[in-house]
Chains A and B, each alone.
Chain A
Amino acid sequence: MSMTPTNLPIIPRIRKNAILTLLAKGTRVDERSFEDHRAVNAELGIIPNANGSALVRLGHTKILAGVKIELGTPFPDTPEEGNLIVNAEFLPHASPVFEPGPPDERAVELSRIIDRSLRDIRAIDLSKLVIIPGRRVWNVFIDIYVIDYDGNMIDASSIATLLALLNTRVPTVSIDQNTNEINIQKNNYQPLPLTKKVVTATLAKITDENTGSRYYLIDPSLEEEIISDALITIAYSEDGVLTGVQKSGVSSIPREDIPKILEMTKKLAFKYLEKIKEISSVSYSG
């Protein structure tokens, strides 16, 4: 059962008003412009036991994405495809309001947003992950760990996921002709068949009840997210098509704001993709 959140961190009215005053003047609390996302830093391949991994910092939000490739069986209706499974966890370390226990609905939502963004555009070519058609395939497990929550977990997770996938190596297998036994060759890897780069771009909608003004902020910080009344996330592939949309939060989005939202998210997504390209090329140089 989903419930209106009752344990969110509280922002005192004075602080909220200060933030709104700044917004009215066209600036954000951390002195960013309305066009800037926070600094993105990443470390790739830091988990030796994972097939691919990335630790991403977006401002103070820290996400660790780990990819494990394991032998599996295909689903009955997709016998010639590997499987993609995306999971997300909010570690209790990440925020005073995250409690240990079964996944929070937001973690479930997050994992499904990331999953859909990749799956429907076939960003990972699952047909290239078949070992024995109908019998043995590779399962790609993406586990997203939120380890520090300072706003915009969705985009940070999406960036971490993409970097981890770019960093992922799939073992090579050989099949014994006689016994049909699968031998996983040590130290012989190929990159994951990633056909398209996809990333999410999230805006927070903040309403000033006194003036009625609405602001859409890209890459919201924690404070901005807490005082926002809705989030809108749009996933874009590098060729500019939409591969996912999710409105979340307790407020509504005026229909007339949609064109502006499309414009802002697309710009942001491409900024992220640029940054990801930069980061991943640095790692692979040489």
Chain B
Amino acid sequence: MGVHKQIIRLITEDGVRIDGRKPDQLRPIRMEVGLLKNADGSAYVEYGNTKILAAVYGPRDLGTKHILLPNRAVLRCRYHMAPFSTHERKSPAPSRREIELSKVIREALEPAILVENFPRTVIDIFVEVLNADGGTRTAGVTAASLALADAGIPLRDLVAGVAVGKVQGILVLDENEKEDMYGEADMPVAMMPSYREITLLQLNGVLTEEEFNKALEMAIEGIMKIYGMQKEALKKKYVEYEEVL
């Protein structure tokens, strides 16, 4: 963030980005649900080269009763980057960024989970970044949300997220890492689309009020598309069946 020597031309005058995308275009997105045997719920999501594996265990009890709440489930959330996920190897110890993002992601999912249905239990959410190329926290929220649904945990809605960046003055949807690093702003957003409620909102960088509003609208459009993909990914396992008999 904030490296302002623009040796790289990130976007042309016609609005073509370094990976050939238009400003309002998402990267190729892939979603797979229920791929892990042991986890109660799991999902694998790709936004371009950003690859996230999410798993959910719960609701479950923990044995130690003192951390539980009497009227709702406690959520525990871990956002972690694999050491091989970044250009330079990242130490496995939790960084301050991972600590903050674990909180931000937990708070992006809590509004959606019907935690009152499971008092005195814990729901564990694990988001692991296997390859990082920008937008890891929003892809992480999207994946965690699928894993929660796969675990059968009742949700008000799925949560879908995407980030909007500003690159050489132009707002771009779903920025990759280069765009994030050399751009002027990065705004991750996540929402419960059926209610138009925002559950994750951050701005890293500088935007005027007008740019902020435009970026938010752009993010919401991207979120609606991702939401549709989430629904498809969840139902896929059941809709395409083969006759075993």
A residues apposed to B, CB below 8 Å: 1-4, 6, 77-78, 103, 105-106, 108-109, 111-112, 116, 119-122, 232, 234, 237, 240-256, 258-259, 262, 266
Contact = CB atoms under 8 A, between A and B. Distances in A.
B197 A2 contact: no
Given A2-B77, A4-B74, A254 B197 contact: yes
B67 A112 contact: no
B196 interface: yes
Given A105-B103, A112-B100, A256 B196 contact: yes
A157 to B, nearest CB: 15
A242 B208 contact: yes
Interface string B226-242: 00000000000000000
A242 B206 contact: yes
Given A6-B68, A6-B74, A120-B204, A247 B100 contact: no
Contacts of B192: 252
B152 to A, nearest CB: 20
A2 B77 CA distance: 5
Interface string B1-24: 111000000000000000000000
A226 B240 CA distance: 48
Contacts of B129: none
A204 to B, nearest CB: 14
Given A6-B68, A105-B100, A121 B206 contact: yes
Residue of A2, A111, A242, A249 contacting most chain B CB atoms (<10 Å) = A2
B209 A252 contact: no
10 contacts: A2-B99, A2-B106, A105-B103, A109-B104, A119-B1, A241-B206, A242-B206, A255-B196, A258-B198, A258-B216
A109 B204 contact: no
A12 to B, nearest CB: 15
B178 interface: no
Contacts of A122: 2
The interface residues of chain A, by DSSP majority, are classed as mixed
A254 B67 contact: no
Interface residues of B, number: 49
Nearest to A237: B206
Contacts of A112: 96-97, 100
B52 interface: no
Given A2-B99, A108-B99, A248-B103, A116 B74 contact: no
B184 to A, nearest CB: 8
B205 interface: yes
Interface in B179-208: 184-185, 187, 191-192, 195-208
Given A4-B75, A252-B199, A254-B197, A105 B185 contact: no
A120 B207 CA distance: 10
A112 B75 CA distance: 23
B204 A105 contact: no
B103 A2 contact: yes
A247 B1 contact: no
B123 to A, nearest CB: 9
Contacts of A234: 203
Contacts of A232: 201
A232 B103 CA distance: 15
Nearest to A244: B203
A108 B212 CA distance: 25
A266 B209 CA distance: 10
A78 B74 CA distance: 42
Given A105-B102, A109-B100, A241-B208, A2 B78 contact: yes
Contact of A250 (B96, B107, B205): B107
Contacts of B149: none
A3 B202 CA distance: 20
B120 to A, nearest CB: 11
B61 interface: no
Contact of A262 (B100, B102, B212): B212
A13 to B, nearest CB: 12
A3 B76 contact: yes
Contacts of B104: 109, 248
Contact of A109 (B2, B103, B187): B103
Contacts of A111: 96
A105 B205 CA distance: 22
Contact of A242 (B3, B100, B207): B207
B153 interface: no
